[in-house]
Every structure is written in C-alpha cells, then in structure tokens.
Chain A
C-alpha cells in the first residue's frame, strides 16, 4: 500500500545525544515536511523540502537538521542543541502541484530520559 512510514513509533534520548527520526514515502511525492506537535497544540513546521537535495527552514528549525538525498526519504535529526525535544513529530508529503494537500505519517513520539 502507498503511504508515509515514520519510524520508530517511540524514541527515547539521553540528554546531550543526537537522534534521527526516519520518514519514508512511496507516493512519489516531491515535497516532504517535518512538524512538531506539543500536547494540546497545533502543528509547527520545522523543515520542508520541495525537491531532492534542497530544503528550507520552517518556523522552528533551531536545534534540528535534515537531509534529502532521495526523493522518498526525509530524515530529521534532533540535535543536542534542541533544549526541549520532547514532542510528537509528524512527517508529511505532497505532490508538487500547486495547492495540493499534505498527507501525514503516524508520527514518532520522542522522550528524554
């Protein structure tokens, strides 16, 4: 089945460690996105990529990094510089056509030990 796969579902990190969240899509979508969701709040954009080997900062990019080496993959690294990393992280993708909706994966919940 086509879709967006995020892994792992739950992730624990020790303070001072970097951790990488995986996002893979087989929808042949050009654009991919990472969002952060805190309890009881909406989604905030971290990074997005509209084409391979190119990505742009969103509203809350500090403490995060991404890469887009393949069309189907857009991993997010939460670095030790992110002081409050505990959150629910959501990956999304969309076609490159104008005004097309984004479709989401099932998320990764990151917690600090």
Chain B
C-alpha cells in the first residue's frame, strides 16, 4: 500500500520556538490533511490542503501542499505548552475516500 514518511518522529523544544515537520510520499495525493492528537483522544483536524502549491494558515499553524503533490509540511510558530501532542499528516487517495496516515511527530514543549 501507499506509504507516508513523516519526520521528525519526535521533537523537544523550548516554549516560543518555531517548529517544522513534514511528510513525503512515493505516491501522489489529491488532498493533504494535518491532525493533532492529544493522549487518549481522537485526532482533531488542523488544516486541509486541496491544491498543489496551496499554503494555508490556521492561527499559528501554516501548512503547504507540495507542488509535486507528494509532500507537505506543517509549521507551528511561537510554540506554547498546549501545542504538546502528536501531529499526523494524512493523504487522501485519488478516489477521495481513503486516508493514509504518516507515523506521527510527537511534540514536547518545555515551558
């Protein structure tokens, strides 16, 4: 099946620092999604990207849909303690009905 490589696997940063994580794929996706998951909870959608080259912001979060349609990145600016969690990228297949998830990036923020 399709594979999504997400990096880094984990990050430990100081409060106030900016964060960047990315996903790459061997296959093309029509839609890229970024989710955040808190411990013991379900993933919550942060940003959805629908067009190659698209750059979308949601508060301190910015994500881009790579021009080749095989990659995406998520940036978090001025991190705060509540940013702690696991961030997942996910790509929707051509039929638009099946998600493939990356392995997640665990973010830890030191106050």
Neighbouring A residues of B40 by C-beta, 8 Å: 106-107, 109
Q: Are B42 and A99 in touch, CB under 8 angstroms?
A: no
Q: Are A90 and B42 in touch, CB under 8 angstroms?
A: yes
Indicate the size class of the contact surface on chain B. 20 to 34
Indicate the size class of the contact surface on chain A. 20 to 34
**Given the complex of chains A and B, what is the CA–CA distance between A30 and B49 in angstroms?**
22
- The verdict on B45 contacting chain A, using a C-beta distance below 8 Å, is yes
**Per-residue contact bits, chain B 14-43, to A (CB 8 Å; 1 contact, 0 not):** 000000000000000011010100001111
**Given the complex of chains A and B, what is the CA–CA distance between A39 and B88 in angstroms?**
14
- The verdict on B78 contacting chain A, using a C-beta distance below 8 Å, is no
Binds B, one of A13-21, A41-49, A61-69, A71-79: A41-49
Q: Are A106 and B42 in touch, CB under 8 angstroms?
A: yes
Neighbouring B residues of A104 by C-beta, 8 Å: 35, 42-44
**Given the complex of chains A and B, what is the CA–CA distance between A106 and B103 in angstroms?**
19
Neighbouring B residues of A1 by C-beta, 8 Å: none
Binding site for B on A (CB under 8 A): 4, 6, 31, 33, 40-45, 48, 50, 58-59, 90, 92, 98-107, 109
Q: Are B103 and A42 in touch, CB under 8 angstroms?
A: yes
**Given the complex of chains A and B, what is the CA–CA distance between A102 and B98 in angstroms?**
9
- The verdict on B99 contacting chain A, using a C-beta distance below 8 Å, is yes
How far, in Å, is A63 (CB) from chain B's closest CB?
Answer: 18
Neighbouring B residues of A43 by C-beta, 8 Å: 43, 88, 99, 101
Q: Are A59 and B1 in touch, CB under 8 angstroms?
A: yes
Q: Are A42 and B88 in touch, CB under 8 angstroms?
A: yes
Closest to B33 in A: A101
Partner of B102, one of A6, A42, A106, A109: A42
Contact residues of B between 52 and 111, Cβ < 8 Å to A: 88, 92, 96-99, 101-104, 106
How far, in Å, is A90 (CB) from chain B's closest CB?
Answer: 5
Assuming A6-B42, A45-B98, A98-B96, what are 11 further A-B pairs, CB within 8 angstroms?
A: A4-B42, A42-B88, A42-B101, A43-B99, A59-B1, A92-B42, A104-B42, A104-B43, A106-B40, A106-B41, A107-B40
